Structure 1
């Protein structure tokens, strides 16, 4: 019951450091994992272990497993009702034994009596109350307030929206102190294309801390990112690391070049696909490190064939 009411760009606020400890409230789909077509399962082998993902026929994530070794792993189950997320359970296993002390469950309840309100309750498997978040929306469907309640007390986060000369800014204030601001604008290039520019500023105890600016092309692909550190003496943000991203004709990331002071780093991404030049990639090689990631993918059999 989250999918239809939380705007996509607002999901990040659930993960803000030091303040929000709830996991990101989002319905994950194949697109979030760089997958397409009728994928049923995806097994990813990485340097730290393995990740497993299960999807339903609609391409929605229903289960994820992170395996650190054969005996230690974490499992997350997603439960839906009418295509809306109503429950998420995170279970930990160590030495192949379920650990209820580090396993938690999230429950979501929707209230549409007046303006939309969503309540998220987080409890441990030992039935200990951990957190409760209540997300309030206005008549336009924009989130305007979050009330967090736990054993330490109550925190209130307000979300303000402002439009000014083509710029759209969303600001988060916790107990009236700035926490984060996201300003979105458009940049028209000489060739006529329009890019989206997103500047995010983060605050620590109400004081400016760091920032980063992202530039997206007309396809929504991230093409550049500039990072900033806040200079207290000069009271301004100072640019640090800048990264440029390049893509191939299939919109796959193939190059990454970053510069931080005199330090320059470049990466090249090479892919192998389960179908020649298309389909889903099953091996990604990163040069010059020559590290790699592999994926084993299974697909749903078309329902027509199943009936036959």
Structure 2
């Protein structure tokens, strides 16, 4: 059975140099899973298995489970102090047996004595120390350095921010070599204010490799996405594929169009919604494949405020 890590990739952190690619310590909320309102639990049924999510009353993810079958599944637990992540435990179960060797725990210590610093220690369930990451922030709260140390060595990631004529660029270097650059700019959109344009370039050993440009409207909905490859002959980024996105009056994605060369692929999205006041979707059908995904959602009970006259 092929194992799909659609959400697992977002949630689990591996102690490898590529971890530095993510930079920030990501805290997941209901909005990251296209959920609205006071969601307590969400079960997602897909063709490859099940995804289970649990949230606290503030909308922070506290537990996720990826089930490939009844015997193989991964569980991640999150512990917070307010909005600060203190602990993440990633547990692996195969043949319904807990795998101590591949399960890890991440512990976070926050120091705000001067500028913010977060220390992350990674330890296996067999009590083996796997590594440590230190995240350093500037006075404005922006991440500027990450130091990684583990059994394979150490890395220093530097994040540099520049602003040239309203274009903001974040350049990420690992041990002095450019790994990625992210340039953000704005232009006037057709409606709903200004569009934001984010161009992300990826580098290998300091040399340009690929890029992606995303255009979002004034309320953050993705409108267009273009993929580029780097042509070493012309020394330029060349478009490889482009995608456009369409939404209904409720900002639900209803259509995507992908162009690759002369080939055009169109997908349409149809939804069924629950009967809650939040109107979350519980079934998504993608045509023409008729691929579908269903969700079972439960909510925290909230008392409505009654004002006496």
Give the TM-score taking structure 2 as reference length: 0.89
How far the C-alpha of 1:143 sits from its partner, in A, is: 1.1
- Give the equivalent residue in structure 2 for 1:163: 163
The reply on whether 1:250 has 2:289 as its aligned counterpart is no
How far the C-alpha of 1:191 sits from its partner, in A, is: 5.9
- Give the equivalent residue in structure 1 for 2:18: 19
Kindly provide the CA deviation profile for residues 44-71 of structure 1, in whole angstroms up to 9, marking residues without a partner as x. 0001100101111111111000000011
Provide the C-alpha distance between the structure 2 equivalents of 1:149 and 1:161, rounded to a whole number of angstroms: 24
- State the secondary structure of the residue aligned to 1:219: coil
Structure 1 window deviating more from structure 2 (284-293 vs 269-278): it is 269-278
- State the secondary structure of the residue aligned to 2:48: coil
The reply on whether 1:202 has 2:202 as its aligned counterpart is yes
Kindly provide the CA deviation profile for residues 8-38 of structure 1, in whole angstroms up to 9, marking residues without a partner as x. xxx99x89x9632697722211111111122
Does the aligned pair in 1 maintain the 2:20–2:146 contact within 8 Å? no
CA gap 1:160/1:27 in 2 versus in 1, 3 angstroms: same
For structure 1, the 5+ residue unaligned runs are: 1-10
- Give the equivalent residue in structure 1 for 2:75: 75
CA gap 1:99/1:21 in 2 versus in 1, 3 angstroms: farther
How far the C-alpha of 1:94 sits from its partner, in A, is: 1.0
- State the secondary structure of the residue aligned to 1:19: helix
- Give the equivalent residue in structure 2 for 1:103: 103
For structure 2, the 5+ residue unaligned runs are: 1-9
Provide the C-alpha distance between the structure 2 equivalents of 1:171 and 1:28, rounded to a whole number of angstroms: 24
- State the secondary structure of the residue aligned to 1:32: helix
Give the TM-score taking structure 1 as reference length: 0.90
Kindly provide the CA deviation profile for residues 206-227 of structure 1, in whole angstroms up to 9, marking residues without a partner as x. 1101000000001101110010
Provide the C-alpha distance between the structure 2 equivalents of 1:50 and 1:195, rounded to a whole number of angstroms: 36
- Give the equivalent residue in structure 2 for 1:137: 137
- The aligned runs of 1:171-250 (5 Å cut-off) are 171-189=171-189, 193-250=193-250
CA gap 1:18/1:288 in 2 versus in 1, 3 angstroms: farther
CA gap 1:99/1:236 in 2 versus in 1, 3 angstroms: same
Say what the alpha-carbon RMSD is for the aligned residues: 2.4
